[in-house]
Structure 1
Amino acid sequence: MKILSDLLAVILFFAAYSYTKDIIIATVVALVVGVLQAGFTWLKHKKLDTMQWVSLILIVVMGGATVILRNPVFIKWKPTLLFWVGAAALAVSHLMGKNGLKALMGKEIQLSDGIWRNLTFMWIGYLIFMGLANIAVAYMFTEAQWVNYKLFGSTALMVVFMIAQGFYLSRHLPKESE
């Protein structure tokens, strides 16, 4: 359910763009939805996690710059910045001797420190790649193609990464006793 919630702003951005063919209007929709989602989460849980704050700040700043300056380059950079902030956060936590993924998911799954480290490196690489892919599509293709990539391409790449991660994890999960 959380993944659908995370994709809601992207889906509505895509829908608005598909209907209007205007990236400024689509950005307004994403901006409003992003702020409303953060507000709803705040009211429900009385907090936002770090990446929710980063995402909120980026949509307000980059979306706001797109709308005010009527320049889509800012909204096109927003996903890249979000991916790279995530990669940087994981890298910094690793360099500080902590594991950000384990802190987030350690209660859900029991893995050795080496496996957590490998997963962290996989995620850092994936997030850097996703940022580069977003910028490549934004500058090498049309605006409409970038909008399609934002929903379909990046989502497909995420699914492929999750499946690959699942295969990797399946070899390292503790075996259940029969």
Structure 2
Amino acid sequence: MTDKREINPFLKSALDFGPILVFFVAYLMLKDRVFTIGGTDYDGFIVVTAAFIPLLIASTGALWYLTGQLSRMQVATLVLVVIFGGLSVWLNDDRFFKMKPTMIYLLFGGLLGFGLLRGTSYLKYVMEGMMPLQDAGWMILTKRLMLFFFGLAVLNEVIWRTQSTETWVYFKTFGLSIAVFAFFLSQGKLFQTYGTEEAKDDTTPD
């Protein structure tokens, strides 16, 4: 996965976010329908989940083929989707798929926390090329992101356990993405304080 290749950014965005949007649209179309397959009734959510799994596998595989690499986050997400989505379809129980974001955020938060206990920032290894920061800045950002991930895990549990499936789908499709975007947007002061000279030079006019 080291032979990195650049691809059209619109194509990359389509492969990254397309499966999630297809899931959302398909759910809205099929949410009130029940499908009888092999003598068992499946509601629209389960059927859409069953279709989402191979779609995500295909899009992730296409990204790997076109770019020559996958991030650890993409690989972990795919594995958990296959496991928890597969359990939901196999057992005809939507709770497993709804738990998937919880497991993802607990995993990422736990990994960041493990790195912090060892005195290192695993986040730096993943994102150093995108956000040049001093080591102290990476440690602060890693701690904040760890707590943020744990908070999202708790929030996902609260939403799917107390709200309707449709509310959870809206939350999963839009709420989580907006929350992550807002988190990094709120770290502007940290980036200014701990940005390296390389980062500052990139923003200095010629």
Letter in 2 for 1:106: E
C-alpha distance in 1, partners of 2:14/2:117?
32
Does 2:99 correspond to 1:102? no
8 A Cα contact 1:16 1:25, kept in partner: no
Aligned twin of 2:30: 20
Aligned twin of 2:105: 83
8 A Cα contact 2:137 2:190, kept in partner: no
C-alpha distance in 2, partners of 1:166/1:9?
30
Aligned twin of 2:37: none
Q: 1:49 to 1:163 in 2, by over 3 A?
A: closer
State the 1:101 CA deviation.
1.4
Return the match for 1:8 from 18, 31, 34: 18
1:129-144 alignment runs, 5 A limit: 129-144=151-166
State the 1:122 CA deviation.
1.0
Number of equivalent positions: 178
Aligned twin of 1:148: 170
State TM-score, norm by structure 1.
0.89
- Across the aligned residues of Structure 1 and Structure 2, the Cα RMSD in angstroms comes to 2.0
Aligned twin of 1:73: 95
Return the match for 1:168 from 172, 175, 190: 190
Query: Which structure carries more helix by proportion?
Result: 1
* Structure 2, gaps ≥5 residues long: 1-8, 32-43
C-alpha distance in 2, partners of 1:117/1:71?
40
Q: 1:110 to 1:85 in 2, by over 3 A?
A: same
State the 1:19 CA deviation.
0.6
State the 1:48 CA deviation.
3.2
C-alpha distance in 2, partners of 1:60/1:147?
18
8 A Cα contact 2:115 2:122, kept in partner: yes
State TM-score, norm by structure 2.
0.78
Bigger CA radius of gyration: 2
